[in-house]
Amino acid sequence: MEPELTNAEPVSTVDSSQPNLESNLETGTATEISVELHRYECGVCGYVYEPSIGDIKRNIPAGTSFEAIAPDWRCPVCNTKKKAFADIGVPAKPSGFSENLGYGFGVNVLTPGQKNLLIFGSLALAVIFFISLYALD
């Protein structure tokens, strides 16, 4: 779980009222909130735009959000328009709607990798159990 920040304002730019941002950070008066960029998937070919990587083919630098890309940008794989992309969320976060994460047996808060480990790990354990039944002779 991520810690919740209360009464924190994001520091995005340095204006003239803050001549030395480092001294403010050292005294603890400014707080920085990291913004996680969402990934987008092409509905035609399945290409995933990763903001942390950018688009090398179209000269989009790393760290550029999908919303900041020009509207005439196209998929580097299938040349589909930007409107064919769907938001698939941030990497390594639980899948599903945030209001539904509290329901169930707790598997709603697992990341997709953790769900895979749980499913295939239990299948492997079941196979080992059934093979061990041959030792009962």
Tokens of 38: 């969402």
**Residue 20: which pLDDT band, with cuts at 50, 70 and 90?**
very low
The C-alpha angle 20, 21, 24, rounded to 5 degrees, equals: 100
Q: Specify the pLDDT at position 12.
A: 42
Exposed e or buried b per residue across 30-51, where buried means at least 16 C-beta atoms within 10 angstroms of its C-beta:
beeeeeebebbbbeeeebebeb
* Alpha-carbon gap, residue 113 to 118, rounded angstroms: 9
pLDDT for res 54: 87
pLDDT digits (tens, 9 = 90+) for 74-123: 998 999 998 999 888 777 665 556 666 666 666 667 778 888 999 999 99
41 close to 48: Cβ distance less than 8 angstroms: yes
Sign of CA dihedral 22, 26, 27, 28: positive
Q: In whole angstroms, what is the distance from residue 53 CA to residue 75 CA?
A: 14
Q: Which is more confident, 100 or 54? A: 54
Share of the chain above pLDDT 90, in %: 20
